Structure 1
Amino acid sequence: MRTLYDVQQLLERFGILVHLGKRLWDIELMTIELEHVYTAGLLDAKIYVKARAVLHREREYELRMQQKNHESSGKQHDR
């Protein structure tokens, strides 16, 4: 379990498909769905922890990219 695609494939095994149109929203909904699958007892704790770490990493990356894009667009407007 190393990539967001891996987490998507894991959730798909339980019939959960996520596509909201924005990557950050997808990650947040996948986190919620992963939690539901885990609390239902359908997922091993080791796999859950790995998938949760992937989602956390990807969410942090998306937030950094949004911040970077927001800052760079603000500089263009200042000119």
Structure 2
Amino acid sequence: MKTVYDVQQVLLKYGTLIYTGDRIGDLELMDMELYELFSYRFIEKETYMIGKLILKKEIARLKGTE
């Protein structure tokens, strides 16, 4: 995984599609869903950690705190 799109594809694989119209809100919901998949052991730790990092970087970029 390298992009937010890649994280979306992982979530979509498990039936989760997130679009609320608020980009930061979408990213935060994606982060929560990624955690749920990891906590139920649907995804591996490496996939979870990489996805979380990608989402956090994008949230920071959008908020201008990078």
State the TM-score, normalized to the length of structure 2.
0.94
Percent sequence identity over aligned pairs? 32
Mapping for residues 39-54 of structure 1, pairs under 5 Å: 39-54=39-54
Matched residue count: 65
Which protein is bigger by CA-based radius of gyration? 1
Q: Quote the RMSD (CA, aligned, Å).
A: 1.1
> What stretches of structure 2 of length at least 5 have no aligned partner?
none
Deviation at 1:22, TM superposition (A): 1.0
Deviation at 1:54, TM superposition (A): 0.2
Aligned partner of 1:25 in structure 2 is 25
Distance 2:62 2:37 in 1: 24
DSSP 3-state at the match of 2:27: helix
DSSP 3-state at the match of 1:19: coil
> What stretches of structure 1 of length at least 5 have no aligned partner?
68-79
